[in-house]
Amino acid sequence: MQELSIRLPEVPDIAPLDTFDADLLSLMYRQMVLIRQFELKVNELFLQGIMPGTIHLSLGQEACVVGACMALEADDVITLTHRGHGQALAKGISADALMAELFGKETGCCRGKGGSLHVGDMSVGALPALAIVGASSPIAAGMAFAFKRRETGQVALNFFGEGTANKGDWHEALNLAAVWKLPVIFLCENNLYGVSTHISEVMAIEYVAERAAAYGMPGSTIYGNDPIIVFQTVMDAAKRARSGAGPTLIECLTYRRGGHKRDDPGAYRPREEVEAWFKTDPIPAFRARLLRDERFSPTALDALDEAAAATIDAAVDFALASDAPALTTALDFVYAD
């Protein structure tokens, strides 16, 4: 068996932000804070026994999803994973619609029929999540195939975890996407663990992106706790996809702050690894980086924090006040018309 090796974060040199538009940076910060606060609230409600269902949180992975989604156009499409709350909010699903979905209410983004594991909304380009690990990669390639055939100029972005990269359907998707030069981006949120299994126990290579070469597409492993690095890498990949040059594999190194799901304290993770990664928490790091730029002040960023908190409180009120779907709608959307 492969020996478990501790992987500590390597934080790259951070470039100055002055070439970036202040509105874009504010939005990036606001989105990351919104996702963080959304999930902290969901966790709190879950522990109080108010929030039903099982919940996979993406606390700590906010920079990956915000950087990636902000690099896409509104009509580009993402596929979501079981850890999809951040992906959904980053692509434009409202906190109201997402919270209501988690409560199984008819005002939810899937009309209360999906729950946490199946969130999405095609009106904002977020394909409802599939809980079957790996199943969304061929679907992303399929959507990209349609975009190419119809010459729409759209791009599909497939979110997945590093554990998923060991599944057969994932490999088939990458192969076909490369052979047919499909406009798809495969974006791995590598948080080092598939449930409790460390990457070094299931992969004999160090990085998922090394596999790109085997399929004939570019691949890169980047620091995933900085939204600007992710944003720029996905922008390049999207440009390449739109130009007809084909797919790209991007691996974002990140870490989940909690366990795999709510009943998992994550005790299998070495303390040294946890402590090192927790120090790289993307939100305080990005905040500190913004504050080194004279266009941002603590007061302005505090105001964004407060606005996000108000949005989440309103989302909880909205969800609790909404009705459950009527029993008569149980079979709606099960079959195509």
Q: In the stretch 256-275, what mask flags binding to ligand TPP with x, by CB under 6 A?
A: ----x---------------
Q: Helix crossing, 298-321 with 22-47: angle to 10°?
A: 40
Of 139 and 235, nearer to ligand TPP (C-beta) is 139
Residues 328/329/334/337 CA torsion (nearest 10 deg): 100
Query: Does 40 help bind ligand TPP (rule: CB under 6 A)?
Result: no
Contact pattern from residue 173 through residue 212 relative to ligand TPP, giving x for each residue in contact according to CB under 6 A and a dash for the rest: ------------------x-xxx-----------------
193 or 318: CB nearest ligand TPP: 193
For the bound state, the minimum distance from the C-beta of residue 176 to ligand TPP, rounded and expressed in Å, comes to: 19
Cβ neighbors of 27 (< 8 A, separation 6 or more) are: 70
Closer residue to ligand TPP, CB minimum distance, 79 or 81:
81
- Check binding of 304 to ligand TPP (CB under 6 A): no
Q: Which of 109, 89, 105 is nearest to 97 (CA)?
A: 109
Strand partners, 251: 188, 221
CB of 124 to ligand TPP, least distance (A): 22
254 binds ligand TPP (CB under 6 A): no
Scan for tokens 């990351």, then name that residue. Answer: 32
Measured from the CB atom, the residue of 96 and 162 that comes closer to ligand TPP is 162
108 binds ligand TPP (CB under 6 A): no
Tokens of 20: 């970036």
- Burial class for 193, CB neighbours closer than 10 Å (0-12, 13-18, 19+): buried
Q: Which of 162, 226, 251, 273 binds ligand TPP (CB under 6 A)?
A: 162
Q: What is the DSSP letter of 99?
A: H
Q: Which residue sits closest to ligand TPP, CB atoms considered?
A: 161
Is residue 283 near ligand TPP by the rule CB under 6 A? no
Can residue 131 be called a binding residue for ligand TPP (CB under 6 A)?
Answer: yes
Counting contacts by CB under 6 A, is residue 120 touching ligand TPP?
Answer: no
Q: Do residues 112 and 104 lie in contact, with contact meaning Cβ atoms separated by under 8 Å?
A: yes
- Report CA 116 to chain centroid distance, whole Å: 14
Distance CA 307, CA 142 (A): 38
In the complex, which residues of this chain contact ligand TPP (CB under 6 A)? 81-83, 131-134, 160-164, 191, 193-195, 260
